[in-house]
Amino acid sequence: MRKIIWIFIFAAILATAGCSKKSTGNQPTNTPQPSTQPAQSPSAPQTQSANVISQLAFNWIDFKNDMLSPKGLTIDGKPDGHFHLTMAFAEATKIKYIIMRYTEFGEHVQWAWEYNTTVPIVGSPIAVFNNGPLVSPGTDKGLACPAGNTDLDLYISELNNENGKDTFKFENGQTISIQIKYITKSGEEKELDSTTVVHL
């Protein structure tokens, strides 16, 4: 009789353990919840605006030809400094003005070219040649430049107490800066700056 009772007790224990094991195996697991925000597609590559300059080169050329004088676009028998400027525009553009400066050891002199004849220049003149011919200023907003490369040859004179204060002689190693104001097709004004070094 005791054997039968122990058999029933042992069977009950086994049945309880089996149920417990089964219940543990069916516990739900935590899974990541999907984001409520819409998926973002990769950003499109940033492209430059069509009016951005893709190339600007400003270089010293020589000091041997007489192209102008400190007073204006007439020769004076003295050589002038020759520079070359190359710009690559992505769209049709107009060059409003050009300013060249020498600033060193407390000295500051300036040469300027303004396309619009109604605007006075501040400084000594610059002779500007566009792929050969001398650019004659006009009444438009600026010198029209097509999309693509524009090559300009620039000449500036030495100065001898111009305006009662400006004196400048070309010397090896001088740094000349340039500032160019241009107008985009949409009418926005932009500026370019660069420098070059005199080599005699």
Q: CB under 8 Å to 177, separation ≥6 — which residues?
A: 100, 101, 102, 103, 193, 194, 195
pLDDT for 4 beyond 60: no
**Domain ranges for the chain:** 53-197
Taking the complete model, does pTM exceed 0.75, yes or no?
no
Give the per-residue pLDDT at 34: 35
Residue 137 has pLDDT above 80, yes or no: yes
What value does the mean pLDDT of the chain take?
Answer: 79
Residue 44 has pLDDT above 50, yes or no: no
CA distance 103 to 141: 29
The arithmetic mean of pLDDT across residues 2-21, rounded, is 47
Based on its alpha-carbon atoms, the radius of gyration of the chain, rounded to whole angstroms, reads 39
Q: How far is CA 101 from the centre of its chain?
A: 21
Architecture of the domain spanning 53-197: Sandwich (2.60)
Q: Do the Cβ atoms of 87 and 94 come closer than 8 Å?
A: no
Are residues 59 and 101 in contact, defined by beta-carbon separation less than 8 angstroms?
A: no
